[in-house]
Amino acid sequence: MIHGRSFSIFRRKLLDWFHQYQRELPWRGTNDPYRVWLSEVMLQQTRVAAVIPYYERFLQRFPTIEALASAPEEDVLRMWSGLGYYSRARNLQRAAQEIVARFCGEFPRSEKEARELPGIGAYTAAAILSIAYGEKLAALDGNVARVLARLFAIEGDLREGKRWQELQDRADFLLDRKSPGDWNQAMMELGATVCTPRSPQCLLCPVAEFCEARKLGMAESLPAIRKKRTLVEVALASAVFVDGQGRTLLLPAPESSNGGDQHDDIAALVSKMWHFPTIAARTKPDKVLHEHLRALLALTAKTQRLVLESLPPARHSVTYRALTVQPYRIRCEHLPRIAGAKVVALSEVAAHSSLAISNLTRKAARAAMLPSKAPSGD
Ligand code: SF4
């Protein structure tokens, strides 16, 4: 148990370990709030190795909060393209715009003001303010919660309201008030590299002697596994028009004629990025898409004969949705006219292009670059 004199030994051991063994990461050693903030947002639900190149490219393109605030949204999404969870990028930019408008471009020091910004919750605010400004705030995320649950042998679902509050109280209690930024990073680093979800490496742990779960032989069985939200299967159909010059059509946002769940499913797919005309289609995707296109094109052009050529499906999971997109190639002499659509080379969509598009859209474009098979219907 951590108490009395052992308390200061515990802190010293963890901080010494952190200073000696922390990984070299591009956002380490900086107390620039913009850089800390960007790294924290990118690291949400994304692995460190995947984040590093995005972090570096993003900072090259938007080196300051002002540069991010004044950029076209499409540029921001383009630099985020492939990292997923695009609401993070839009919130980041909206927050940057608020920081410029309300705080003269300087990230606010107050926790209350920080948490009023889009996309910034209790954890992110505590991480940024402690690392950048030395504010005495303990950051509690899933990693830190797991470490605390083991150190104090806390059983049950950690995300339950009362238990999460208990963990926050423990995190506040342990916080090293002289160096809260290093302390928070040390706790996170321990969770990421030693006290990992599976097979914690207790023999290498700098604070093993204080750990209740280890003493009780429960290190591997804590924390309790959470019940996962049931995965919802979502089936979508997309139209990849290709004209004689190898050009295609992309739409800028989910079609406004969709509503409710369908709209959410399509929004999960395209997240307001450029995308092929798409519709939710649980059964008979070719017929559903065909109907959708007739309705869409009738707005701007006479109904035309459409031959839908089935392509290999693309799959992706977003939070609790398992998306399957069935793309169809539609060859045409002239691309149809759709308000707001962009005409672009298919090869550009298939490559890691300069457009803000999701990986699923890119996969569908790659499928449409394949040689033709027999068409599936009219
Ligand atoms: Fe985690 Fe093991 Fe260290 Fe306890 S002793 S904190 S379970 S790594």
| Cβ atoms within 10 Å, residue 230 | 7
Q: Where are the domains of the chain?
A: 5-215, 232-368
Q: Residue 102 corresponds to which tokens in the numbers above?
A: 């309300």
CA gap 84, 356 in Å, rounded = 11
Residues 146, 223 contacting (CB under 8 angstroms): yes
Q: Residue 296 corresponds to which tokens in the numbers above?
A: 């869409």
- pTM comes to 0.74
- pLDDT one-digit tens code per residue, 302-348: 555 788 999 999 887 776 778 889 999 999 988 988 888 899 999 99
Residues 206, 293 contacting (CB under 8 angstroms): no
- pLDDT one-digit tens code per residue, 57-105: 999 999 999 999 999 998 999 899 888 888 899 999 999 999 999 999 9
Q: Which CATH superfamily is domain 5-215 in?
A: Hypothetical protein; domain 2 (1.10.340.30)
| Helix intervals (H) in the chain | 4-21, 33-43, 48-61, 65-70, 73-80, 87-103, 111-115, 122-133, 142-151, 161-174, 180-193, 212-215, 260-270, 285-298, 346-350, 359-368
| Cβ atoms within 10 Å, residue 112 | 8
CA gap 207, 327 in Å, rounded = 53
40 part of the active site: yes
Can the peptide bond before residue 223 be classed as cis, meaning omega within 30 degrees of 0? yes
Q: Is the pLDDT of residue 354 over 80?
A: no
Instruction: Give the confidence band of 45 by pLDDT, cuts at 50, 70, 90.
Output: confident
CA gap 51, 32 in Å, rounded = 18
| Among 362, 341, 342, residue whose Cα is nearest residue 353 | 362
CA gap 329, 332 in Å, rounded = 10
Ligand 1 binding site (Cβ under 6 Å of any ligand atom): 147, 150-151, 194-195, 200-202, 205, 207-208, 211, 213-214, 219
10 CA to centre of ligand 1 in angstroms: 13
**What is the CATH number assigned to the segment(s) 232-368?**
3.90.79.10
60 CA to centre of ligand 1 in angstroms: 38
Residues 355, 344 contacting (CB under 8 angstroms): yes
200 CA to centre of ligand 1 in angstroms: 6
